[in-house]
Amino acid sequence: MRSRRSVGDAAIASVTLLALCSGTWLLTSGDDGHAPPQPAASQADVSGAPRTGPGAPALPPSPPDRIRIPSIRVDAPLMGLGLTKAGSLDVPPAGRRNLAGWYEAGTTPGETGTAIVAGHVDNADGPAVFYRLGALRRGSTIEVERRDGGTALFEVDAVEVYDAKAFPDEKVYGAAARPELRVITCGGGYSRTTGYRGNVVVFAHLVGGSR
Amino acid sequence: MRRTARMLTGTALAVGAVGMVVVPAYGAEGGGLELGPASVVPGGEVGVHTDVCKNGAAAGDASAVGAGAFTMAPGSDDRRATGKFRVPPSAQPGTYEIVADCAEGGRRVTGDLVVSLTSTPGQVHPRGSVKTGVGGAFGRDPVQTAAGVTALAVAAAGGTWLLHRRARGDGI
């Protein structure tokens, strides 16, 4: 009887100690959170000139429903986005962590031209849909599921980071002669007073489509 | 708080603001022939649709822009006549009439294609940076915080129980 009780006591004592240590560790570690990954200079566009390679033949216009980027484990629905009064691209509601958007008045992904997708890097609760976008590398695949039942496959050409004060509108949003895609999120350094300094922008072009 | 502090920093830039003309991106229906996009850069591909032709068959002609003839056949999704052509990289900016003659009934449909060198005038592009983050990734992970609090509560309960037993003289 006595020994059984002391075994129980020892178990409770060790659980208590373990809980104390892990609780303390959980509450003291990770105080600063984790900055989202930023693209390396080697992932930037090296050509400098506009890319005019043929890529895959354009798909007919069809609104996108979902974006998948397997290499950074993105699989999120897409909502339509408009413009803010200031003329910048609107963003999905911050409360929904796994939701991205596409610029509805523009080109649909897969069609000739520049299709634009944007999503949050984080929200008030922590990392969001495009948290790892800056870790994407040239040659990675982006899949866009379309409402016509097909999928547009894009290959990443470059991953850039731009300061908001010198955002290259024409390069990011301008027309393209082939089906291209931009995926945009916040990045480029963070300050508690002014927020993120700019945006991470992924440039990709269509390499295939399936129905 | 943080969010309000970081409002609209990037929108002051009027750098390279392109001429903004509000026109639908595609679906220009001058004469029943829909072009998508209706405005394209040289070298770009244009999709063509029309509801007018019976059986969805037509002979398209984009020679005005130097792209020659193209065929239109019923689309896989619907019975609309569907075709496409590529604007030659050498095409000059301007507005070109694209025509299609229905295979049956002899009707002719037309649509206007705008070729421009830089941005697509028919499309309003967004400007500036996008506000897609508030810095929440830098804060403490709420799940981790909850786990830590739970663990400390367990430790407190265990400690209380042990102290209670010792106080009763049961020994440990």
Nearest to A80 by CA among A69, A67, A90: A90
A6-20, A36-50, A77-91, A197-211: segment of lowest average pLDDT: A36-50
Partner residue facing A186 (CB), from B133, B151, B161? B133
- The total of other beta-carbon atoms located within 10 Å of residue A27's CB is 17
ipTM score assigned to the predicted complex: 0.72
Closest Cα in chain A, distance from residue B30 (Å): 19
Residues B39 and B111 in one domain: yes
Average pLDDT estimate for B3-25: 36
Within a domain: A148: yes
Scanning every residue of chain B, which has its alpha carbon at the shortest distance from the alpha carbon of A13?
B158
Amino acid identity for residue B70 in this structure:
F
Determine contact: A165 vs chain B, CB below 8 A: yes
Report whether pLDDT(B163) > 50: yes
Q: Is residue B86 located within the same domain as residue B160? A: no
Please identify among residues 57-86 of chain A the ones whose CB lies closer than 8 Å to any CB of chain B. 57-58, 60-61, 83, 86
Interval B146-161 mean pLDDT: 89
**In the predicted structure, residue A187 carries a pLDDT above the cut 50:** yes
Q: Which domain holds residue B103?
A: 19-115
Let me know if residue B122 belongs to a domain: no
Whether the per-residue pLDDT at A131 is higher than 60: the answer is: yes
A80: CATH: 2.40.260.10
Select the residue of B6, B10, B132 nearest A119 (Cβ to Cβ): B132
Cβ pair A165:B118 closer than 8 A: no
- Determine the Cα–Cα distance for residues A46 and A136; give it in Å rounded to an integer: 16
CB contact under 8 A, A19 and B134: no
Query: DSSP strand E in chain A: where?
Result: 64-69, 74-81, 100-103, 113-119, 122-123, 126-127, 141-146, 151-163, 179-191, 195-210
Q: How many domains does chain B have?
A: 2
String of DSSP letters for B76-143 = SSSSSEEEEEE--TTPPSEEEEEEEEESSTT-EEEEEEEE-SSS-TTSPPP-S------SGGGS--HH
Q: How many domains, in total, are found in chain A?
A: 1
What percentage of chain B has pLDDT greater than the value 70? 73
A57: nearest CB among B18, B45, B142: B45
Q: Using CA atoms in the order A58, A60, A61, A65, what is the torsion angle rounded to 10 degrees? A: -90
Q: State the greatest distance between any 2 C-alpha atoms of chain B, in Å, as a whole number.
A: 106
Instruction: For residue B8, tell me if it sits in a domain.
Output: no
